[in-house]
């Protein structure tokens, strides 16, 4: 991948320092847009400088102030911020609550038959490792004249027999109205994309989505890196790596549960381990680091208060020994953290010493 990155930079002699509107497109980026679209069975795709920019930009670029956004309450920050920037008409339904989503859409349509409604979800919610019923959401959007946006950032390339993630496993390739994602998870590079059904919509986003028109385009090296990642994903090697990855995911989840931990959601490359209290989680995190292990601590505002968790990211080349050692380190850190938490908690609950009163 390093060699491909360097080669992509050296082969591009024309200038590319600008947005995709102004000198930013290169042969590599044009080829990557075509590849993303074909991979997702969509007619068109547009590149963005980051995945965050793609999520923010697809909403801010298309939703007008009088339109509505109906979104899963756990949607990523980029999607939430894009909605807030685009319109005051933002409606959230509880996580994966399809009936609640329907009720919101029906209520909106009862009072507003004309303005647009964008429904926003993710194929894999990274903090909970779970997925919506995209088939049912698409049918609901079709029934009530809404546009469905699916964020595939966390599963594209690494889940499914062919690497096409949850949207592929549910048979929804080419059926969502808009698909956005990030290259920073599986594809070894910065960058993001929005895939859509018409060239007109792609060009509209290019000119009216702020992150697209006011940010530098992907460099040739970034585009070449992602193209190489796609080549691996679609090869026999990619299939083998995904099989190894899934085996490691299942093994890690099994060992964590046997060690007494609660693990969120369904098997995916993001294994989230419930801790709860932010104070406890920080103490456990300190001991994890002391043991020479890396476990990303996630707490409010990324998740709700009192629902802190560790987000473990699994790789295909982790060994069972790596997994065993990681679980043992986390178990020991959890015990040490809880012991410290209990001691500190007792001190916090102790009434303060009486102080002298002035007369």
Give me the pLDDT at residue 348, please.
56
The tens digit of pLDDT for each residue in 226-249 reads 999 999 999 999 999 999 999 999
Regarding whether 340 and 245 lie in a shared domain, the answer is yes
pTM above 0.95, yes or no: no
- CA–CA dist 295, 326 (Å, integer): 9
Give me the pLDDT at residue 347, please.
57
Regarding whether 246 and 137 lie in a shared domain, the answer is no
Cα 139 to chain centroid distance, Å, stands at 23
CATH number for position 10: 3.40.640.10
Last-in-domain residue among 233, 257, 281: 233
Phi, psi of 291 (to 5 degrees): -85, 0
Regarding whether 263 and 187 lie in a shared domain, the answer is no
Regarding whether 200 and 294 lie in a shared domain, the answer is no
Regarding whether 129 and 37 lie in a shared domain, the answer is yes
Q: How far is CA 192 from CA 68, 152, 182, 186, 195, in A?
A: 24, 10, 4, 12, 10
For the chain, how many structural domains are there in total?
Answer: 2
The tens digit of pLDDT for each residue in 94-141 reads 999 999 999 999 999 999 999 999 999 999 999 999 999 999 999 999
- CA–CA dist 31, 289 (Å, integer): 42
DSSP one-letter code for 212: H
Regarding whether 134 and 273 lie in a shared domain, the answer is no
Q: Is residue 334 part of a domain?
A: yes
Q: Which domain holds residue 341?
A: 236-347
> Which residues have C-beta within 8 Å of that of residue 118, sequence separation ≥ 6?
59, 62, 63, 67, 68, 69, 70, 146, 147, 149
Here the tokens at position 310 are 């560790």
Q: Is residue 357 part of a domain?
A: no
- Whether the pLDDT of residue 3 is over 70: the answer is no
């Amino acid at each position: 991948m390093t060699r491909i990155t360097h080669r992509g930079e050296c082969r591009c002699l024309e200038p590319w320092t600008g947005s995709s509107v102004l000198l930013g497109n290169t042969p590599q980026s044009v080829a990557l847009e075509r590849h993303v679209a074909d991979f997702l069975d969509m007619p068109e795709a547009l590149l963005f400088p980051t995945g965050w920019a793609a999520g923010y930009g697809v909403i801010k670029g298309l939703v007008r102030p009088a339109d509505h956004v109906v979104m899963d309450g756990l949607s990523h920050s980029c999607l939430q911020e894009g909605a807030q920037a685009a319109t005051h008409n933002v409606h959230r339904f509880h996580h994966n609550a399809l009936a609640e989503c329907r009720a919101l859409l029906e209520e909106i349509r009862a009072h507003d038959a004309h303005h647009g409604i964008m429904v926003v979800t993710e194929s894999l919610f990274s903090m909970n490792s779970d997925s919506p019923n995209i088939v049912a959401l698409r049918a609901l959007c079709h029934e009530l004249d809404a546009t469905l946006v699916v964020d595939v950032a966390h599963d594209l390339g690494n889940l499914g027999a062919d690497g096409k993630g949850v949207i592929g496993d549910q048979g929804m390739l080419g059926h969502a109205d808009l698909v956005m994602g990030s290259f920073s998870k599986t594809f070894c590079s910065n960058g993001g994309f929005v895939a859509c059904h018409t060239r007109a919509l792609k060009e509209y986003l290019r000119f009216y989505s702020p992150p697209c028109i006011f940010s530098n385009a992907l460099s040739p090296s970034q585009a070449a890196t992602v193209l190489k990642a796609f080549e691996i994903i679609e090869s026999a090697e990619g299939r083998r790596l995904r099989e190894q990855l899934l085996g490691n995911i299942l093994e890690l989840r099994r060992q964590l549960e046997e060690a007494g931990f609660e693990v969120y959601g369904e098997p995916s490359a993001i294994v989230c381990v419930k801790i709860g209290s932010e104070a406890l989680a920080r103490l456990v995190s300190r001991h994890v680091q002391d043991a020479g292990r890396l476990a990303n601590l996630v707490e409010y505002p990324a998740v709700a208060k009192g629902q802190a968790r560790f987000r473990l990211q699994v790789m295909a080349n982790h060994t069972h020994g790596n997994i065993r050692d990681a679980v043992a380190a986390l178990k020991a850190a959890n015990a040490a953290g809880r012991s410290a938490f209990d001691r500190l908690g007792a001190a916090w609950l102790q009434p303060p010493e009486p102080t002298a009163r002035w007369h």
